[in-house]
Amino acid sequence: MLNVKGAALWQRWGVSLVVLLLGALLSVLATRAMLQTNQEQLKSRLQLLGGERMALIATQVRALATEMRGLQRFFSFSDEVSRREFAGFNHHALEHIVGIAWAPRVSHIQRDSHEQTQRDEGLRGYQILDLNQDDQWSPAAPRDEYFPLTYISSLNYDNAAMGFNMASHPVLYALLKRARDSGEPALSNLLSLVGLDKQAQAQLLVSPVYFGGKVPESLQARRQQLRGFLIMTVSLQSVLRRLLNDETFNGLTVGVKDAQQANAPLLANYPQPLPKALSELGQVHSMVSLADRQLDVCIEALPSFVATYQDARVVWVPWLGAILTLMTALLVWVLSNQRFTAMSLVRSRTQELELRSAQVAGLEARWRAALDSAGDGIWEWDLSAHVLSFCDRYLGRLGYTASEFGTREEDWLMRVHEDDRERCQACVRQHVRGETNTLMMEYRLQNHAGEYLWVMDRGQVISRNEQGRALRMIGTQTDIDGLKSIQRRAEDSQRYLQSVLDAATEVAIMATDIHGRFTLFNAGAERLFGYQANDVVNRETPLLLHDPLQIKAMSEDLQARGLGHYEGFAALVAQVRLGEVEARDWRMRHKNGQWRDISLRITAIRNHQGGLTGFLGIAVDVTERREVQRQLKAHDERLRKLASQVPGALFQYRMDLEGSVEFVFISDGAYKLLDLDPAHGPLEAASLFTRIHRDDKVRVQASIRQTYEKRASAWHDEFRILTHAGEVLWVRGEARTESRRDGSFIWYGYLTDVSVQKKLEAELRQLTITDPLTKAFNRRFFDEQGRLEIHRAERYRTPLSLLMWDIDHFKAINDRYGHEWGDRVLQQFVEQFSARLRQSDYLCRLGGEEFAVLLPQTDLSAARQLADDLLALCEEARLPRVGKVTASFAVVAWQSGESLAQVFNRADALLYQAKAEGRACVRG
């Protein structure tokens, strides 16, 4: 009996064990098949979600390029862009980028004027700066060209880098040259923001701007016609964070790197830090172009992605197989033993409850994790016990600990701003009574530092008793202080803009929708055209004011240029729709029927996505200005005709406070004076100064500068100029002067050719200082030049000597051979002695046969040596018919403090001594 029972027991256990093993095998096979299917589904889900996110990223990157192209066109079609225009144009773009800057090209000649212009525009202390290795600013070192940050627009940083010379930074300068030489935008690697936080890294998108609005074809032309650079600070990390920071993106990781560089580091990734991805699910790759870079964007799955999108059957199929296996085995066992079956059912139910508890706990954990990732704080209110509890994020944002904040309702209420307290209590009462489905309220809450922050609470009653009384409420709190600050700034900007529009009474500002209906008609427009804003806004179009014939002519011009057929308002804004700025003069009609000349500039109004929403027009009445210009032109023409009849050249010359000069007016006589062709262009002040003789240029410039500094009432000077043919002319200039209120100085005068007069003066001067017989200098010149040389020797402490000589027995020569031969003797002596003198020496005839030589830079010994040489020459020379003729010499050296008369008397005494001691000798 025991054997039978034992066999039956083993049989029941054996059958149950076989059933259990078979069930486990089937469960394993089913689970494996389910895992494979789930793996393929996860891969498909990754490709689908990754493709959607990839499209968002590509769209945002293209938006950055589009924003840069729009800013580049704005600069290309504007001669000058003011700081306010720059900030206004870029304001909407700052929501997507770190900042935008303008760095003009400034040559070393333009540096001072550029810095002064910026300081005049309100940038106190502005100068071009370099950044040294210690991150300290210093004035920029001299170089041929600079690229200073002149305009900066940013929501995150102030003007800390204003004036920074990008050419001084090797990496940045290489980036600028790459963009300049290619003519296209260029993108940098990750860089630390210069002059700011080194931890803040971003990329620079640099776009060149050229004069003329077009990219020159040749490399040399691009370097010469460069106007400056537009620099957009781009944080791909911020782009990813803004686009992808939502709950639906949990479980994916994205990385961006340069596809053109091998082993390039990541430029941006999300989330941060970058966790390890699941390689078995594959990757989603896409190449996105930004400027001159190809960006490789890669999206991969994280383990949390599998947890989020995994097929639930993968979890419960093994359990279901196990349950079925156990139930089958238990069913077999029930047939043999009821007790074992009941116990198996209890164990199975217990396992199910534990599984459900684990699932509920997992759901609650994921719910709290989702709230934490959204940045919201969580609060719970036990209304029956009057106790409030807050999560750590809620308290940490306010700077409190749980013990500091408290758990009573009064603790929370006392920190609510007094202006919001009553409203918050009313909202809570309404929701507790069931009058609202959810609790939602915005109010100011005091933090630990005593400051009030704007927050938004959302919650709901989750438990009520049988009588409907609220027992428990749970909710979240969101920090909206930054949003409120943005709203306040937007409201202030709106009020400021309205004030500006109302104050601009001299300028007509009008706006329309895309169909042409007026949406704005400011006070200036009412004054200019006579219509009230209420009469035209949302009722009329600009065709009410325009000349139909001009609109028709513009339509025909657009069609002739191949831009399409447009009529009416469409023709007026056709070029604006193409991305250009329409600016021209129009003939427009006042309400009273009078026609006026109006300068009108039309630009597009776009939303933050770049979509066209309307058009903005700025109009200025130029009727009176046109008339004044016409009258001035006629006056200038009459003045030019009158000036052409005057000998020489009439001019109006201007110098401003910075020393810049120009000819406001110069008559055609200047071209005749300089032998220039007027067809070569207007005569510039700098060009005229280059034609002044090099020996006169410094003196003339000094006289002009002295007239300016002393504010003299008149100026006159005489100087030489070089004509186009190389001829030297003497010119006399005279002018009356005038000081202007702006600090500038004006010369009104004329230039006339005095070359003939100067030649006559030179000839007359030569006659007055030259002995007509010997061509040596005369006594008058000796007295003038002698005093001058003594003054020079006294000033520079240099030696000066005087050599005097007298022809021996000259009277006897005259008596014996006649005065004609006496004159020949004098001429022969001067000719022979002049050949032995230096160019700096002065040979003078004092009278009769007496001569003197002024010897600058010569001491007594050198002068005596010269006298000995001349005496030897007399001994050797033989004159025709007369034969040998000798002379007596005296040499003296000037002594400090002596006058010319004193030196002459000493020499004359020595000469008398030589005569007395036998002649034909040297004394001194």
Phi and psi torsions of 784, nearest 5°: -70, -50
Checking DSSP bridges between strand 226-234 and strand 201-210, what pairing results, if any? antiparallel
The tokens describing 700, both together, are: 């003339």
Q: Crossing angle, helix 312-336 and helix 338-373, to 10 degrees?
A: 170
CA dihedral for 215, 221, 227, 230, sign (positive or negative): positive
Rounded CA separation 258/287 (Å): 10
Task: Give per-residue burial for 569-586: e unless 16+ CB within 10 Å, then b.
Answer: bbbbbbbbeeeeebeeeb
CB atoms within 10 A of CB 294: 12
Residue carrying the six token digits 């800390």: 160
- Kindly report the number of other CB atoms within 10 A of residue 282's CB atom: 15
Q: For 830-858, give the DSSP string.
A: HHHHHHHS-TT-EEEEEETTEEEEEEET-
DSSP letter for each residue of 557-611: HHHHTTS----THHHHTHHHHTT--EEEEEEEE-TTS-EEEEEEEEEEEE-TTS-
Task: Give the containing element (helix H, strand E) for 651.
Answer: strand 649-655
How many C-beta atoms lie closer than 10 Å to residue 134's C-beta?
6
Structure tokens given for 645 = 């009849």
Q: How far is CA 852 from the centre of its chain?
A: 73
Phi then psi for 471, rounded to 5 degrees?
-110, -35
Q: Which two tokens stand for residue 598?
A: 């109006």
Neighbours of 101 (CB within 10 A): 25
CB-CB contact of 891 with 907 (8 Å): yes
Task: Return the structure tokens found at 414.
Answer: 């006392």
Largest separation between any pair of C-alpha atoms in the chain = 195
Sheet holding 284-290, edge to edge: 266-270, 252-258, 293-301, 284-290
* Distances, alpha carbon 663 to alpha carbons 643, 654, 666, 687, in Å: 15, 6, 6, 11
Sheet architecture: strand order including 377-382: 387-390, 377-382, 470-479, 452-464, 439-446
Residue of 526, 582, 849, 898 marked catalytic: 849
Alpha helices in 77-169 (DSSP H): 83-90, 111-120
Cα atoms in the Cβ-side hemisphere of radius 13 Å centred on 547: 13
Q: Where are the alpha helices (DSSP H) in 202-285?
A: 219-224, 236-244
By the 8 A CB rule, do 332 and 16 touch? yes
Phi, psi of 657 (to 5 degrees): -65, -30
Structure tokens, 885: 């003729």
Instruction: Identify which of 607, 586, 608, 609 has the alpha carbon closest to the alpha carbon of residue 598.
Output: 586
- What is the rounded CA–CA span in Å between residue 179 and residue 293? 12
Token pair for residue 8?
């039956």
Distance CA 18, CA 104 (A): 87
**Which helix (H) or strand (E) is 30 found in, with range?**
helix 2-76
Handedness of CA 330, 335, 341, 342 (dihedral sign): positive
Among this protein's residues, is 849 annotated catalytic?
Answer: yes
- DSSP characters over 776-822: SB-HHHHHHHHHHHHHHHHHHT--EEEEEEEETTHHHHHHHH-HHHH
* Residues 107 and 144 sit within 8 Å (Cβ to Cβ): yes
DSSP 3-state of 896:
coil
* Residue numbers annotated as active site: 849
